[in-house]
Amino acid sequence: MFAILKKELWSYFGNWSAWLIIAAFSLITTLFLFFFENDSNIFEIGLASLQSYFVLVPWLLMFIVPALSMKTFAEEQQTGTLHWLFSQPLHVHSLVLGKFFSVWFVGILCLIPSLIYLYTVYVLGVPEGNIDLGMTFGSYIGLIILIAAFSGIGILASSISQNQIMAYLLGVFMCFIMYFGIEQLASYKLLGGVDFILQNLGFYQHFLGFTRGLIDAKDLAYFVFIIGAALLLSNHFINKKK
């Protein structure tokens, strides 16, 4: 697993793709939080809070993470190196885990520049330091777990797809459905009591608890289950290609 992880990280950082993605992600969030006139602009909100950041970032991640994960297996299949990997003394689950952790790691790195935003909001607070650090910390934990869930789905999409474009589009679609689509469908209240169950099948409600500073075991168990299921399915589809 560690050999695959090292190989994948080198492929991200060796050709500048990871640096470009992190820079683009940071630029977009900076523009929305401090420059563009929108509901996420911290100066227009007038509150010493990063909650607008935690609302904005999941929408960016559902496009960024599939871009990171699309090449994990789809590119290997396109170039024919997947069969070479099968000939190595590697278990398929080690292959899946190594690629998963590499995508997750790069996704987490996208959040590092936001510490500058945290410091800025902390200093601009009246009085200085007037920010709910518990809620902020919980939101960061939620984002890290959400990145893991998106990474698992992205790996699954790549394991199913024949090429990178298909893997990216499928990954974005699946992330969108899991984060927003299910929540939106449940909000129409067409299914009576089933709406509550449907609502809790999606990411949004479980992520929302973290943004309130609540780290609930049920939410953690939900995301662990989703990530585990995505990786097990990925393992199954890759095994079928051997």
Give Cα separations from 7 to 4, 101, 233 (angstroms): 5, 12, 23
What local confidence, expressed as pLDDT, does residue 191 receive?
65
Question: Which is nearest to 81 in space by CA: 11, 153, 168?
Answer: 11
Please determine, for residue 125, whether its predicted confidence score (pLDDT) is greater than 80.
Answer: no
* pLDDT, tens digit, 9 for 90 and up, residues 1-48: 888 898 899 989 988 889 999 999 999 999 998 888 888 888 777 777
Please determine, for residue 239, whether its predicted confidence score (pLDDT) is greater than 70.
Answer: yes
Please determine, for residue 56, whether its predicted confidence score (pLDDT) is greater than 70.
Answer: yes
Average pLDDT over every residue of 216-241: 94
What local confidence, expressed as pLDDT, does residue 192 receive?
66
Average pLDDT over every residue of 74-99: 84
Interatomic CA distance for residues 33 and 162, integer angstroms: 38
Tell whether pTM > 0.85: yes
Mean pLDDT (the chain) is 89
